[in-house]
A and B are shown apart, each in its own frame.
Chain A
Amino acid sequence: MKTMPKLAVWKFTSCDGCQLSLLDCEDELLLLAGQIDIAYFMEASSRQVDGPYDLSIVEGSITTADEAERIQKIRQQSHTLITIGACASSGGIQALRNFADVTEFTSLVYAHPEYIATLKTSSAISDHIRVDFVLQGCPINKAQLLEVISAYLNQRKPQIPAHSVCMECKLKGNICVMVAHGTPCMGPVTHAGCGAICPSYNRGCYGCYGPKENPNTASLSHWWQTELGSDNATLLENFRNMNAAAPAFATQSLTFIEKNHEEK
């Protein structure tokens, strides 16, 4: 019998939602357990097998000095390492701190801010170590996670296209909410993967999956403003959410802040 590869699932600063998508693969979970040795997955089992690991799946962002150290050790123990979710790929919603003063809000929120040991920024895993594959999404799509794992197990390319959500919309036969209803939609700059859920329910895309490859955030923002009547606040909200620190979105959102200052 061939020895099964060893899988570890790691958590950093995150909500656990992406790991849950793995547990959510109810039908496939048994199949998976037959193909890979789930050696470390605290969310699912207290069994802890020591490294090295063939495949590490990392959820969450780096927000403390401790985490910055721990991720290095995990990389050293992992042959292949993939990150899952918006936190791991761009810093997550907690990266909103990157645009503000952490000392200021810890002093407002906590009775004893001196107990809080945190970094000034929340950063992507790939800012710290080499990552073999990044699976975007908040939360990730479980079918995509299975696809990445299947691809790893069978040593093939994962079919995770980096194109726009618009592609998914059109393949599904959705009606474009921007063109037909005048609803602002982040789809044209957002990475596919969710299956265009929001436009399928006649809502604009929120950009949960982060930037697509080659996104033109400036042109989309300009259209929202000039043709759809969106104000700076709406634009800011859309670019500053789960993927606020993804470079394409961060750069774009800063232009709205500058504009706000100019207007004041």
Chain B
Amino acid sequence: MKVQNATSYILLSDKLNSLIHSLQQAGYQVIGPVIVDQTIIYDHINSADDLPQGWTDEQDKGRYRLKRRQDSAYFGFNVGPNSWKKYLQLPRRQVWNAQKTADGIHIEPVNSAITPLAFLGIRSCELHAIAIQDRVFLSGEYHNEDYKQRRQSIFTVAVNCTQAAATCFCTSMNTGPAVSLPCDLEITEIINDNEHYFLLRCGSEKGELILQQLPVTPATSEHHQQQKAAISQAEEQMSAGPRMFDSSDLQALLYRNYESPLWSDIAERCLSCANCTLVCPTCFCSSVEDTTDLSGDHAERWEQWDSCFTADFSYIHGGSVRPDTRSRYRQWMTHKLATWHEQFNTSGCVGCGRCVAWCPVGIDITEEVIRFQKADSS
């Protein structure tokens, strides 16, 4: 059917495969949520059967458990250990090869073939995270070519959150739970007593082309009301939870508290293991590693994710600038919530809660923020 921008359409849940199929037909490899090792991660999917239908995640600080749902929702969970970052800023990639020959050293860049990917099920906080990485890698004087190529070729299917994990705090960071940045297609999953359907809306020409091929019908005002109610359910869960805080003054708060004894208290618990930075969808740090083979005739440069929690990360002539955990945690939190604003004109945190759940000793950035706020006002 001929579809229009900004109008919503209904796709019945048993027709979800038509969306996946159309994306494949358009030349995309579809990446979506799948269950691996008792978690929901992002990986290749072939059909709706691969999705974690009827499963949800129960999250808390330092804890993640997969649980059965009472219903058969496809997207009835929140964010897991993976973020889309792994497809845009690869965890590890070769940058170049160098060969020593009689007439000098030849450096050959390594450009891997890029497959267009369709991301099925991006949450609003994740769209914000991608937008933040865009600023890091694509704005200003220096661009990351590899990121650029990958980023340009993706198709985005965003999903509105209709429930929040206990670790979510997008409302505090103003990034969700309703999709609030452009995407190619936006979907909302609705389940009630007698219906299970998706509301779809396209946000780009690419999205329109896909939507046109689907067996959809126009949405009614009742559908819209159900959508609104579903999203506000997620909002209410977060407002009632412990991770609500006022994020408007974080920059000044952290600068004022640069020498606070609270940093040492966190350092007693923090393992400086780097998990928080590696699961974070916005953390962009990487390091390059140059190696040679035994002969020294062949050299390679690899780029891989790095973290401000390692000693090597801040190593300069004479030693590491941040030798202890106190200074490393302070760097992480101050960068995320304060200096990021100066650097990129945005917060570095989107409130996805991954660092809270995936910290092996449950250090919770929201809890720490609230402790700083309390100590500061007393």
Contact = CB atoms under 8 A, between A and B. Distances in A.
Main secondary structure of the interface of B (DSSP, over half): loop
Given A189-B271, A214-B325, A35 B81 contact: no
Of A34, A202, A219, chain B has the most CB atoms within 10 Å of the CB of: A219
Given A180-B37, A214-B325, A170 B274 contact: yes
Main secondary structure of the interface of A (DSSP, over half): helix
Given A159-B291, A216-B325, A175 B39 contact: yes
Contact of B360 (A28, A146, A175, A188): A188
B65 A180 contact: yes
A147 B293 CA distance: 8
A179 B91 contact: no
Interface in B264-319: 268-275, 278-279, 289-296, 304-305, 307, 309-312
B92 A171 contact: yes
Contacts of B65: 180
Nearest to B90: A171
B271 A202 contact: no
Given A156-B292, A173-B86, A223 B275 contact: no
A164 B91 contact: no
Contacts of B295: 31, 34-35
B360 to A, nearest CB: 5
Given A176-B360, A180-B65, A214-B324, A187 B294 contact: no
Nearest to B62: A179
A252 to B, nearest CB: 13
A147 to B, nearest CB: 7
Contacts of B325: 214, 216
Of B270, B271, B289, chain A has the most CB atoms within 10 Å of the CB of: B271
Nearest to A189: B271
B294 A149 contact: yes
A162 interface: yes
Nearest to B57: A180
B317 to A, nearest CB: 13
Nearest to A158: B291
Contacts, number: 139
Contact of A178 (B92, B274, B307, B360): B360
Interface residues of A, number: 46
For chain B, the bracket of interface size reads: 35 or more
Given A173-B86, A176-B360, A166 B273 contact: yes
B82 interface: yes
A142 B359 CA distance: 31
B64 interface: yes
A164 B359 CA distance: 13
A163 B287 CA distance: 13
B38 interface: yes
A70 interface: no
Contact of B38 (A34, A149, A164, A180): A180
Given A159-B289, A167-B310, A179-B63, A150 B294 contact: yes
B62 A175 contact: no
B6 interface: no
B229 interface: no
Nearest to A157: B290
Contact of B39 (A32, A164, A180, A213): A180
B294 A146 contact: yes
Interface string B252-271: 00000000000000001111
B39 to A, nearest CB: 5
Interface string B13-37: 0000000000000000000000011
A147 B323 CA distance: 25
A173 B86 CA distance: 9
Contact of A167 (B274, B290, B358, B361): B274
A214 B272 contact: yes
Contact of B81 (A147, A163, A180, A189): A180
B324 A223 contact: no
Interface of B: 36-39, 41, 62-65, 81-82, 86, 91-92, 268-275, 278-279, 289-296, 304-305, 307, 309-312, 323-325, 357-362
7 contacts: A161-B312, A163-B310, A163-B311, A176-B358, A189-B273, A216-B270, A219-B361
Closest 4 CB pairs of A and B: A188-B273, A170-B278, A175-B37, A188-B271
Interface of A: 28, 31-32, 34-35, 146-147, 149-151, 153-154, 156, 159, 161-164, 166-167, 170-173, 175-176, 178-182, 185, 187-189, 202, 213-216, 218-220, 222-223, 227
Given A164-B271, A164-B272, 12 more contacts: A167-B307, A167-B310, A170-B279, A170-B305, A171-B92, A171-B304, A175-B38, A175-B41, A178-B62, A188-B361, A219-B268, A223-B62
